[in-house]
Structure 1
Amino acid sequence: MDILNRLAESIDYIEKYLDQPLKHEEIAKIAYCSKFHYQRMFYMLTGVTLADYIRKRRLTVAAQELAAKWLMLLLNTATTHLRAFSRLHGISPSQAREKGRTLRAFPRLSFHIQIKGVLKKPFQVIGKALEVTVKDDQNKKDIPAFWNELNHNGFTDSLKPHIGPLGFLGVCMDFNDQADTFNYVIGVEKTTADTPAGCVEKPIPAATWAVFEAIGPVNPAVQATWERIFSEWFPATGYELANAPQFESCPKDGDIMAQDHITEIWIPVVKQK
């Protein structure tokens, strides 16, 4: 349960310094994670982004106390926080001071599958790469659009002669914590000496992989499985996420809308120290 204890400690840190500027990097360090992986895990477990959680907790405390320092924190950061206050509570901070007003609360968080293990040698992925940002969940829009683009322009069909046993791959890699970005590669495992024209070649290191099956239409089966991995599997095991690419694999001729469609989610893991 170390991962839940670390997350709980990070929540303690947020609550302790809620009235001060909070850096996501510092919060992630409490949980022994990179900023990217912490933010992703936080969202998987809670259903809200880290930034949204902090903002709503500040708004809640401000609503509960309406003390000068809390209102000054809101007033001095950005006018967007004033709008956020109004959206959450339906009234402005000044109206909240009026007698008989009711305010909403966002409580503090507390933290109270088919799988196989695979040890795989390093390999290469060939395909197209797109840099995406996790800010405002933009990656959740850009990645499906990227798949649609490559499916419609014939690129994925052009990869079928080169496809390996893993099928089509969607790889998250090259994580940049400072910029909140990573590269998403749509491709296949390289099985020939030559790299097809127009393709990039990306290395995948040797690793121990936990491989999960997401059964059913890709949307919503894959996202639901990701959430269960972080909320159920990691907390109940002695493993944690390794610093390596993560990827999903689909059969080359699979029907992604079929009820029995299987998408494999490959996550690099290491034993907790």
Structure 2
Amino acid sequence: MKPANPRQYRELQTIIDRIENHLDGDIQALPLAKELHISPWHFQRLFKSLTGDTLGNYIRGRRLTQAALLLRETPAGILEIALDVGFHSHEALTRAFKSHFGQTPKQFRANSDRASLQQKPQLIPELLSHRWHDMQLEPTIEQRPARHLAGIATQIPSPFLSNAAYCHLLEPAWWQLLQHCPQLPVTQADTFYGLTLSPSGTYTETDVTYLTAVAVPEDFKLPPGMTSHSIPAQTVAVFDIDIVEADTVNKTMDIIYGYWLPSAPYYRAEGNDYEYFTELTDFTKAPGGSQYVLPVTKT
């Protein structure tokens, strides 16, 4: 069910802002539903249809994400943080935090590598608009064959740890790849890959490698300056994305990891996420769309 008109967006944003401002309090569906003049049952249903998440999961995820932020950026004690984000005790926060992030608040604070894969971003208007208008709400689950890639590697700030812009860093690599293409035995015509590679496989590095690439035969000898990478045969979730802009990938990741994956019957599997561009022939303008692909396995 899609929003019938902009009024629903405005009303939902008012509710989300109220939740955000009262994370330390008791947030109940009844008073929120009264603001929209609908029943609590209909409010819960409407909230899930518009956000892709239940009200309870959203509140819990935002509280834990805020707790993670306070652990990372302030010296506040764990009990103080627990009370600030709506938990009634040190123990209650610790249990919920470990269940969600796989480590205790104390362990999280001591760990310098803190990837944001499990954090739940606040549903700001730009994120809601992207979810409803710019990307496929539910992915296609596919079994994709193995591919061997050749491309140009660039170091970028990890999109899993930072919202820093990095598109300007990639433009030279794309042009370099295009200059190589006429000499490459490309196995997928007019098809390009953009992969984010993590040496550890956990995306906890401050900087990661972005590979702009094309598919080539496995025995192809690379020209100087190029890097190879193999994608194994794997089950993937494929999201169609209708626009390609500077912040498209970050918003797409926020929706997938913050809202789709936690409630999907899948875990993220080993491997790398990648952007997939097809029928790309005119390089004088930005692509009209892409696919965001991540490896998954059944829960």
How far apart are residue 128 of structure 1 and its match?
1.4
Contact preservation (8 Å) 1:217, 1:256: no
Structure ranking higher in strand proportion: 1
CA distance in 2, matches of 1:37, 1:164: 38
RMSD in angstroms over aligned alpha carbons?
Answer: 4.2
State the AA in 1 paired with 2:165.
Answer: K
Pick one of 255, 258, 264 that aligns with 2:291: 264
What is the Cα deviation at residue 148 of structure 1? 1.2
The 3-state SS of whatever aligns with 1:45 is coil
Find the counterpart in structure 2 of residue 104 from structure 1. Answer: none
Q: Match of 1:46, as an amino acid?
A: Q
Matches within 5 A, 1:246-257: 246-251=273-278, 252-253=280-281
Determine which of 151, 160, 165 is the counterpart of 1:140: 165
CA distance in 2, matches of 1:37, 1:122: 30
Please report how far the alpha carbon of residue 234 of structure 1 lies from its aligned counterpart in structure 2 after TM superposition: 1.4
Q: Secondary structure at the match of 1:119?
A: strand
Give the equivalent residue in structure 1 for 2:149. 125
* Partner-residue secondary structure (3-state), 1:234: helix
Structure 1 counterpart of 2:211, from 182, 185, 191: 185
Shift of 1:222: 4.1
Residues 163 and 250 of structure 2 are in contact (CA less than 8 Å); yes or no, is this contact kept in structure 1?
no
Determine what percentage of the aligned residue pairs are the same residue. Answer: 13
Residue 267 of structure 1 aligns with an amino acid whose one-letter code is: L
Q: Which runs of 5+ in 1 are unaligned?
A: 49-112
1:31 to 76, 80, 101: 101
The structural deviation recorded for 1:256 is: 8.5
Aligned length: 200
Q: 1: CA distance between counterparts of 2:117 and 2:194? A: 17
Counterpart amino acid of residue 187 in structure 1: A
Q: How does 1:1-273 map to 2 (within 5 A)?
A: 7=61, 10-11=64-65, 14=68, 19-20=76-77, 30-32=100-102, 38-42=115-119, 45-46=121-122, 113=137, 115-134=139-158, 137=162, 140-141=165-166, 144-152=167-175, 154-159=176-181, 161-165=184-188, 167-176=191-200, 179-191=205-217, 193-198=219-224, 199-251=226-278, 252-253=280-281, 261-272=288-299
* 3-state secondary structure, aligned to 1:194: coil
Q: Which moved more, 1:163-172 or 1:1-10?
A: 1-10
With structure 2 as the length reference, what TM-score do the two structures score?
A: 0.52
User: In the alignment, residue 162 of structure 2 is paired with which amino acid?
Assistant: D
> What amino acid maps onto 2:296 in structure 1?
V
- Go from structure 1 to structure 2 and tell me whether the alpha carbon gap of 1:133 and 1:32 turns closer, same or farther (over 3 Å shift): same
Instruction: Note the alpha carbon deviations across 1:147-200, whole angstroms, 9 max, x for none.
Output: 211244x43242255434381111012244564332211111223632330211
What secondary structure does 2:198 align onto? strand
Equivalent position SS for 1:39: coil
What CA distance in whole angstroms lies between the structure 2 residues aligned with 1:211 and 1:170? 14
Q: 1:28: Cα distance to partner? A: 7.9
**One-letter amino acid matched to 1:126:** A
Distance change >3 Å, CA 32–CA 123, structure 1 → 2 = farther
Q: CA deviation at 1:265?
A: 0.7
CA distance in 2, matches of 1:220, 1:133: 14
Give me the whole-angstrom Cα distance separating, in 2, the residues matched to 1:256 and 1:118. 31
CA–CA distance in 1 between the matches of 2:155 and 2:70?
Answer: 35
